[in-house]
Amino acid sequence: MPDIALTGPRGPKPKKRFSRGNIILYGTLIMVSMYYLLPLYVMVVTSLKGMPEIRLGNVFGPPLEVTFQPWVKAWSEACTGLDCTGLSKGFWNSVQILIPSVVLSIAIASVNGYALSHWKFKGSEVFFTILILGAFIPYQTMLYPIVIMLREIGLMGDLWGLVLVHTVFGMPILTLLFRNYFASIPEELFKAARVDGAGFWRIYFQIMLPMALPIFVVAIILQVTGIWNDFLFGVIYTKPATYPMTVQLNNIVNSVQGVKEYNVNMAATLLTGLVPLVIYFASGKLFVRGIAAGAVKG
């Protein structure tokens, strides 16, 4: 067939690279990211400088002489009062709080959500509403009652007391998350499993759980960052020996004896923020994979 010459617009419309829209869009994006990244940059460079260099006052300059001494000091030597063991103890405390809290809260909330979406019972909607209301009650009103309750059951100041508090407070939002996700799984799949003779737990473990990977990743991100960054519950329900990392960081940065070691403070802050940061970076990939695994439609 002969190629007839066509005149006028043909094929995809050409796009200008430096159009006004693009300049405004990317300009705004660059400015906003600078606004957020600059403090981080200052923290990183300061933490790598020695004290004499910091006294020169060149806040934005890169370190002339890179030293990791502030990081080592923040981790194992920084003092809070008379105790000079650095952040390391707080780190391990936080790990000991974090792992059981995350595992427990997600395990319970996922079963809650599954039961509330597929095994509705008389009053299940009322139960769910009451549970969700829990998310709207300010924490402050419950601080003192919880102190009394923990004291009564003998867990005040104990790591497990804090685990219990985190598990309970994570319940409303996590249950909501899981219930909504499980409700989006077609009911026919659930019916088919029942015809196939599967019961409550078998359907949960063999049908629902493998399909719920993406929501588990979301729940883990929520809980890990939330619990790791928690300060309020940590400072109230633990004692110095069981302080989580955030509380210890506060004590190190705010101790007023001698010179303020900005480099150590910066390093300590970065160390504390490292866990959520790693979670964000690592879960990005997991998240995509989780969505892909769940993308197969029934």
Partner 1 sequence: MSYSVEIKQLDLSFGAVKVLQDLDLNINEGEFLVLLGSSGCGKSTLLNCIAGLLEVTDGQIFIKGQNVTWAEPSERGIGMVFQSYALYPQMTVKGNLSFGLKNAKLPKDEIEARVARAADILQIGPLLDRKPGALSGGQRQRVAIGRALVRDVDVFLFDEPLSNLDAKLRVDLRVELKRLHNQLQNTMIYVTHDQVEAMTLADRIAVMKGGAIMQLGTPDEIYNQPRNLYVADFIGSPSMNFLEGHLEVGTFKVDDMVMPMTGYDFATPQTADRPAVIGIRPEHVVTGELVKNAPLQFSVDVDLVEPMGSDTLVYAKLGAHIFRIRMDGQATVKAGETIDIGVDPSRASLFDKATEDRI
**What is the x/- site pattern for partner 1, positions 209-238, by CB under 8 A?**
-xx---------------------------
Asked whether the beta carbons of 165 and 226 are under 8 A apart, the reply is no
Question: Based on CB atoms, which residue is closest to partner 1, 72 or 211?
Answer: 211
Within 8 A by CB and 6+ apart from 94, the residues are: 228, 244, 245, 246, 275
DSSP 242: G
* 120 makes contact with partner 1 (CB under 8 A): no
* 198 makes contact with partner 1 (CB under 8 A): yes
Question: Based on CB atoms, which residue is closest to partner 1, 192 or 279?
Answer: 192
* 197 makes contact with partner 1 (CB under 8 A): yes
Q: Distance between CA 148 and CA 85 in Å, rounded? A: 31
Region near partner 1 per CB under 8 A, out of 122-130, 187-195, 253-261, 270-278: 187-195
Collapsed DSSP state (helix, strand, coil) of residue 94? helix
Q: Distance between CA 228 and CA 230 in Å, rounded? A: 6
Site for partner 1 in 51-110 (CB under 8 A): none
- The β-bridge partners of 83 are 80
The number of residues that bind partner 1 (CB under 8 A) is 21
Q: How far is CA 87 from CA 4, 138, 246, in A?
A: 76, 30, 9
**What is the x/- site pattern for partner 1, positions 277-296, by CB under 8 A?**
----------------x-xx
Binding interface with partner 1 (CB under 8 A): 186, 188-189, 191-198, 202, 206-207, 210-211, 293, 295-298
